[in-house]
Amino acid sequence: MTQPPNDEAAIRVHELTRRFGSFTAVRAISFEVARGEVFGFLGANGAGKTTAIKMLTGLLLPTSGDARVAGFDVYRETESIRRHIGYMSQRFSLYEDLTVRENIELYGGIYGLSDERIATRSTELIEGLGLREARDTLVASMPLGWKQKLAFSVAVIHDPAVVFLDEPTSGVDPITRRQFWEMIYTAASRGITVFVTTHYMDEAEYCDRVSIMVDGGIAALGTPSELKRRYGVGTIDDVFVRLARPAA
């Protein structure tokens, strides 16, 4: 298993636990994600994934254990965490009745960029996506693939240390899907850590490393090829089902 060296970790989690009454949703999980790594965080419904992500994004306090995201503590520095992360969920990231440019400006503001910086980033982003002609188009009228690319660009407009993506390529055609993964790899090569959650194990195959949560704990962690080799199967889907099915 490849472990990133400590000084490069963008996310560092040690024995992180969260209980709700007598139910332990997340049970002493430990892992590290390197700067610029594309990390897949997988798990069945109810495995504790959402609870773990809420703690990592500063939305929920842990019961015990430690975690640092972008160097900030999840107990005491949640405000700083929120300023240093980006988030894109599969379909609800953009405002449909705002234009491309308005969405960019709105998110630039939400993420606390100066007006000057927003103007610069807005131009860069519109040019980079080839959307100059469409900058005053309502997002509602754009094809899904374009919305997803724009949503991703907006989620990293403030150059966050970590961007959280939820089923980023669900439902798009296979060419758009690959263009999207190339955008993700480009962001990662700029040093942005990409934290992907998904139900589609196909998407997991594109990650540098994946972890699989079962019943509140991390049941496996490694590169996709390591995990496939370890379980003697051909796909991450098979690895996943083998680990998660007894729990279902």
Partner 1 sequence: MVVRDVVKRFGDTVALDRMSVSVHRAELFGFIGPDGAGKTTLLRILTTLLVPDAGDAHVLGMDVVRDLWRIRPRLGYMPGRFSLYPDLSVIENLTFFASVFGTSVDDARDVIAPIYSQIERFHDRRAAALSGGMKQKLALCCALVHRPDVLFLDEPTTGVDAVSRREFWELLAQLKASGLTIVVSTPYMDEASRCDRVALVQRGRILELAPPAVIGSRYRHPLVAVRGGDRQRVLAALRAFPHVHSAFPFGEAIHYADARGGSDTAAISREITAWLAQRGLKAARGEPAQAGIEDVFMDLMEAPAPRPAA
**Shortest Cβ 134–partner 1 spacing (Å):** 5
Interface with partner 1, residue 206, by CB under 8 A: yes
For partner 1, which residue of 87, 95, 200, 231 counts as binding (CB under 8 A)?
200
Which SS3 state, helix, strand or coil, does residue 65 take?
strand
Closer residue to partner 1 in complex, CB, 113/243: 243
Nearest to 39 by CA among 164, 175, 217: 164
The C-alpha atoms of residue 20 and residue 63 are separated, in whole angstroms, by 9
Closer residue to partner 1 in complex, CB, 85/150: 150
Q: Cβ atoms within 10 A of the Cβ of 89, count?
A: 14
Interface with partner 1, residue 172, by CB under 8 A: yes
Using CB under 8 A, count the residues that bind partner 1: 47
Interface with partner 1, residue 1, by CB under 8 A: no
- Residue for token digits 């296979």? 174
Interface with partner 1, residue 170, by CB under 8 A: yes
Closer residue to partner 1 in complex, CB, 59/140: 140
Interface with partner 1, residue 164, by CB under 8 A: no
The C-alpha atoms of residue 150 and residue 203 are separated, in whole angstroms, by 19
The C-alpha atoms of residue 4 and residue 33 are separated, in whole angstroms, by 7
Q: Identify the H or E element spanning 43.
A: strand 38-43
**Shortest Cβ 176–partner 1 spacing (Å):** 6
